[in-house]
Amino acid sequence: MKTFKYRWKFGGSEHTGWKDCGDESDLRNRIKEAGGELIEVLEVKEKEQASETVHKTRTKKCPFCSEDIKEEAIKCKHCGTDLLRRNESAHSTDFRSSQAHTDPYRPSRGGNNGLAITSFILGILAVITSAIGLGFLLAIIAVCLGPGGKDSEHGALASWGIGLGWFVIIGSIVVAILWGSIFGLMIFGSR
């Protein structure tokens, strides 16, 4: 098999192209089938020279979804994982865990995804149920759980949970003060 660089004519205009064929007559027949005409062969490469393109298409398995991807890939085309960031975070996690083992007095801060997600969900539920009084309790729990999840992969959710929790707590206190003022005026204002 050879790779041909050639000029060909199609519909009154000339084009240049590359094609893998057995020989020049095979190339000429393929161009005729496409409705064109071979003008001249510019260059011929043997298939052994094209082996460097085979080298470029080596594959490896994605460490997250196990699908085949190119060896040079920095992002998996199947699961969308950014392989560079995942490798960096894996190294930093290894560093943190090695630090925790070497220093017994330093508290472990590996992060907890469960706490982050729970804090976020409780924050949302606190906002939804704040009108019936249950929101205040859920907000306190969200604010207490949130810091445990701030160092996790879902630290942003923990921050949102804490923020929503404080919003409901402060809002509940303000509403309680307003209602207290209204009832105070009603009771003491009528005397």
Amino acid identity, residue 32? Answer: K
* pLDDT, tens digit, 9 for 90 and up, residues 95-147: 444 444 444 444 444 557 888 888 899 889 988 998 887 888 898 998 998 88
Pick the range with the lowest mean pLDDT from 25-34, 81-90, 163-172.
81-90
Percent of the chain with pLDDT over 70: 80
DSSP alpha helix (H) spans, the chain = 24-33, 51-56, 83-102, 113-129, 134-149, 155-189
Neighbours of 154 (CB within 10 A): 20
How far CA 128 is from CA of 7, 87, 96, 125, in Å, comes to: 70, 39, 37, 5
* pLDDT, tens digit, 9 for 90 and up, residues 166-176: 999 999 899 88
Give the model's pLDDT for residue 87. 54
Query: Residue 152: left (phi > 0), alpha (psi -120 to 50), or beta?
Result: beta
Averaged pLDDT, 70-81: 82
The values of phi and psi at residue 6, to 5°, are -145, 160
Tokens of 180: 């207290």
Averaged pLDDT, 68-95: 70
Task: Give residue 90's pLDDT band: very low, low, confident or very high (50, 70, 90).
Answer: low
Averaged pLDDT, 152-181: 89
Percent of the chain with pLDDT over 90: 10
pLDDT at 22 over 90: no
Beta-bridge partner residues of 38: 8
Q: The pTM is what?
A: 0.41
179 alpha-carbon distance from chain centroid: 46
Give the model's pLDDT for residue 31. 82
User: Who has greater pLDDT, 136 or 52?
Assistant: 136
164 contact partners, CB below 8 Å, separation of at least 6: 120, 123, 124, 126, 127, 139, 142
As a whole number, the mean pLDDT across the chain is 78
d(CA 88, CA 94): 10
Q: Are 57 and 74 in contact (CB under 8 A)?
A: no
For 50, the 3-state DSSP assignment is helix
In this structure, the strands spanning 2-10 and 13-21 are antiparallel
Pick the range with the lowest mean pLDDT from 38-47, 57-66, 92-101.
92-101
pLDDT at 12 over 50: yes
